[in-house]
Amino acid sequence: MTHLEHTPASASKRRLAPDTSRLDPRSARAWTEPMAVEPIGGGCYAVASASGSEYHVDLPAGRCTCPDNGYRDARCKHLRRVAVEVTRGDLAPPGRLPGDCAACGHERFLPEDGPSLCNDCRFERGDAVRDRETGDVVVVARATDTPADEWTVEERTVAAYESNDGYPADNPVVEVVYPFSEPRTVDLDALDRYAFPHSRLEKANAQLVE
């Protein structure tokens, strides 16, 4: 029998489970029992089983609150299920929670602490980025988690500046410097910083390599 034959039609949108007949019983149960798994932060997950019990799995610590876990060093089915779903990319990994990216708006697994930005949109210190308004290539000194309408520069918020019209006011502020203006320096902290709403900037790595 192939695993296709015992995959219910309702599960057709999910990736196929392994052939559970080849797994040990504990691993097989982790795949086949109905369980609702939800990330609750701090690397922990709430797992509700079909029987109505709810347990907390701490994935980084390898612990579960169920009576089965730790028994003769066995990993329980809840812990296995969480590990399986994280590995498949169906469940947020430790340190991340599902949410809407503040820049692109797509639902992604976002960092629990730090800017609500997906990996594609996130800027790191030292990234070369292009100002969409002026075309200037600037360098990220710091990506913050503070929205543009709460960051004040000379008594106006970043969001209130005309040059930032059209960029979402709740965009996290990115502080950038202009190291390509004279005199050249590589010390980002020695340069004046300018605050931009995140989506006014785009990655510009390609333009730096000539």
Contact with Zn ion (CB under 5 A) among 11, 16, 36, 104: 104
Contact with Zn ion (CB under 5 A) among 66, 141, 177, 201: 66
- Of residues 59 and 177, the one with the C-beta less far from Zn ion: 59
CA torsion 17-18-24-28 (nearest 10°) is 10
DSSP designation for 192: -
Verify binding: residue 76, Zn ion, rule CB under 5 A.
yes
CA distances from residue 139 to 67, 95, 179, 181 in whole angstroms, order as listed: 53, 27, 7, 11
- 13: CB partners within 8 A, 6+ apart: none
Amino acid code (one letter) for 210: E
- Of residues 173 and 177, the one with the C-beta less far from Zn ion: 173
Task: Find the part of the chain contacting Zn ion (CB under 5 A) among 48-56, 135-143, 146-154, 156-164.
Answer: 48-56
Task: Find the part of the chain contacting Zn ion (CB under 5 A) among 20-28, 118-126, 130-138, 198-206.
Answer: 118-126
Residue 56 CA to residue 35 CA, distance in Å, equals 12
Q: How far is the CB of 116 from Zn ion (least distance, A)?
A: 9
* 80 neighbors 66 (Cβ within 8 angstroms): no
Which residues bind to Zn ion, rule: CB under 5 A?
55, 64, 66, 69, 76, 78, 101, 103-104, 118, 121
